[in-house]
Chain A
Amino acid sequence: MNPSLAPAAQQALELFSQCSSWEARARLLMQWGDRLTPLSDAERCAANQIEGCESRVWLVMDRQSDNYQFRASSEARLLRGLLALLLVRIEGLAPQTLASLDLSDWFSQLGLSRQLSPSRSNGLFAVLQRIRQLAQDCENTSP
C-alpha cells in the first residue's frame, strides 16, 4: 500500500501491475477511459483543446473557491484511458503537491512509461504541462 495514493489510484496500480499482456493492458485502458466524466459539446471547444496532440484532447478545470477538479477527454480511446489514470492520480492534490509530483514515475509504476517518452505525440505530456499551468494560475489567484 502506498499511503499517499487515493483509493481509486491504488486500485489502478493493483490492476495495471497485474497485466501480463499488451491485450489485457489495452482492454483495461479502454475500460478506464470509459470511466471519464463526459465533456459536453460546448466543453469540447478550441479554448479547452490541448495543442501538440495528434488526437484531439480537451481539458477542463472546474474551480470552486480554492478547490479545483480536472475533467478531460479525447477522441482516441486508449488516450482516454491514460487521461483517466492521470486524473485519478492528481485528484484532490494541492497545487504545490501537483507541481512537484513525478508523474512519469506514476506511469512507470503502471507499466505505461513508454507513453510519456518524448518521441510520442499522443499528447499526454502536453496535458501534464497544461494541468500544472492551470494549477499554478489557480494558486496565484487564490484569495
Chain B
Amino acid sequence: MLLSPWRADFPALAALDHEGQVYLDSAATAQKPQAMLEALQRYYAQGAANVHRAQHLPGSRATQAFEGVRQQLADWLKAPQDAEIIFTRGTTEALNLLAYGLEHLFQPGDEILISALEHHANLLPWQQLAQRRQARLVILPLDQSGQLDMHAAQQLISPRTRLLAVSQLSNVLGGWLPLAELLPLAKAQGALTVVDGAQGIVHSPPDLQALGCDFYAFSSHKLYGPDGLGVLCARHQALQWLHHWQFGGEMLEHTDYQQARFRAAPLGFEAGTPPIASVIALGATLDYLQSLDSHAVNQHEQALHRQLLEGLQQRPGIQVLGRPQTALASFIAEGIHAADLAELLCEQGIALRHGSHCAQPLLQSLGVQQGALRVSLALYNDGRDLERFFNALDNALELLR
C-alpha cells in the first residue's frame, strides 16, 4: 500500500476522511498545508496593513513580507534576472491581462496560436482578442493519441504568428506539451510566447530560464496555496509591449483630473489593494514545498499515477482519454452516462470532477458527447484513496450495467 508521508501536513485530509470523503479533485483546487494556514492566521493576528502605502510599523512589515514573497517566487521559478513577478487574482486574470495589455500589437490577419487542448482560460481571452482585432485564432491540432501534432505545428507557425499561448500540462489529458520543441519555433518567427502553467507547475519543478517563454502564468490555489491569487512572470523584453489595463490605486506615478502617468511592472499592473494575506501565505506554502524532498514527492506521485492508470485499464469498458503522463486521468465508461457514474461515486464519498473540465472544444474533438470523469492526484493522496475509489467505481458500474 502506497502511503503519503506528507498527508498529515494537510489538516483537511483528516477532516475529509472523517466525513467519509476521498478527495481526488486536486487539479480543480488543492488542499492546504498547516504551514500555510498558520501564516494566514499569523498575518491577521499580528495586525493587517496595506502594502506600499503607509510608513507605520504594520504597513512596513506587510510590505516587506509581501515583496519578500515576490523575490522568493522569482528565485523558485528560476526566473530570468530581469523578469518581473506580477500578482493577479489567478491564472485566468493573468491571461486576460495579457490579452488586453498586448491587444494594441494585433492587426487584422495576424495569427494567435493556441493548442486544441486549452482550458477555457487560455482559449477565451485569445478568441475574444482575435474578434476585437480581426486577427485569426489558429488551433494547433492533436494527434490520435492526444499529443500535440508537432508536424502540423511546424506548418502552422509562420511569419503571421504574433503570439503562441499553450498549456504546460493538460488539465484533461494529463499530458505534457512539447514546449522545448514548440516555443523555439514561435520565437524564431518573432512571436510572443505565453505558457499556462496552472497544472504543470504543481507537478514539475519550474525552471523559467530553461523554458524560455515570455510570459508564464499560474494560480496559487492549485499549488497548495490560498485562492484569489495568481502569478504572472514576465520577461523584461516582453514587458515593453504590455500596456496598462486596470486602473486605480497605487499603479500610478502621477495623476491630475485629466491625465496620468503609470508605474512600470510589477506595480503598474497591480491596481488596487492586492491579496496581501494570500501572497504572504503563498510564501509559507513555498517554504513548505521547498522543505520536501522533491524527488520523493515525484516518485510518490508517479507511483500513484501508475496505479490509477493500471486500475482503470483493468476494468472492461473504461476508456482513458489520451495518454496521461502525470497527476490525473480522465475517462468514460462505455454505455454509461458520465453524470450517472459521477453521481454514484459521489454517493460513495468520492470527490472527483465530471463534465467538460472547462475544455468543451477539446471534448467535442475527442468525440466525448456526455462529459468525462476526472481523477486528479496530489502529493497527499495515497494507495488507500485509490482503493476506495476503485471499490466505489466497481459498485457504481455494477449498478448501472
Contact = CB atoms under 8 A, between A and B. Distances in A.
Contact of A75 (B343, B344, B370, B400): B370
A27 B348 CA distance: 15
A26 B339 contact: no
B400 A54 contact: no
A35 B228 CA distance: 46
Nearest to B356: A54
B24 to A, nearest CB: 17
A53 to B, nearest CB: 9
A22 B339 contact: no
A69 B340 CA distance: 27
SS of A interface (majority):
helix
Contacts of B399: 23, 26-27
Interface string B30-44: 000000000000000
A55 interface: yes
Contacts of B356: 54
B371 interface: yes
Nearest to A121: B355
Contacts, number: 40
Contacts of A26: 343-344, 347, 399
A79 B339 contact: yes
A132 interface: no
A54 B395 CA distance: 23
Interface in B118-158: none
A22 B348 CA distance: 8
A54 B354 contact: yes
B348 A54 contact: no
Contacts of A76: 337, 339-340, 343, 370
A127 interface: no
Interface string A69-84: 0000001111100000
Contacts of B355: 54, 121
A73 to B, nearest CB: 12
A77 B340 contact: yes
Contacts of B370: 55, 75-76
A94 B356 CA distance: 38
Contacts of A122: 339, 343
B371 A54 contact: yes
Size bracket of the B interface: 10 to 19
Contacts of A54: 339, 354-356, 371
Interface residues of A, number: 14
Interface string B347-375: 11000001110000000000000110000
A77 B343 CA distance: 10
Nearest to B346: A114
Interface in A34-63: 54-55
A76 B370 CA distance: 9
B348 A75 contact: no
Given A26-B399, A54-B354, A77 B337 contact: yes
Nearest to A115: B343
A25 to B, nearest CB: 8
B357 to A, nearest CB: 11
A122 B354 CA distance: 11
B174 to A, nearest CB: 21
A55 B339 contact: yes
B395 A23 contact: yes
Contact of A78 (B340, B348, B354, B395): B340
A122 B370 CA distance: 12
A59 B25 CA distance: 32
Closest 10 CB pairs of A and B: A22-B347, A76-B339, A76-B337, A55-B339, A54-B355, A78-B343, A78-B340, A76-B340, A77-B340, A75-B337
Interface of B: 337, 339-340, 343-344, 347-348, 354-356, 370-371, 395, 399-400
29 contacts: A22-B344, A22-B348, A23-B395, A25-B347, A26-B343, A26-B344, A26-B347, A26-B399, A27-B399, A54-B339, A54-B354, A54-B355, A54-B356, A54-B371, A55-B339, A55-B370, A75-B339, A75-B370, A76-B337, A76-B339, A76-B340, A77-B340, A78-B339, A78-B340, A78-B343, A79-B340, A121-B355, A122-B339, A122-B343
Given A54-B339, A78-B344, A121-B355, 4 more contacts: A23-B395, A76-B370, A79-B339, A122-B339
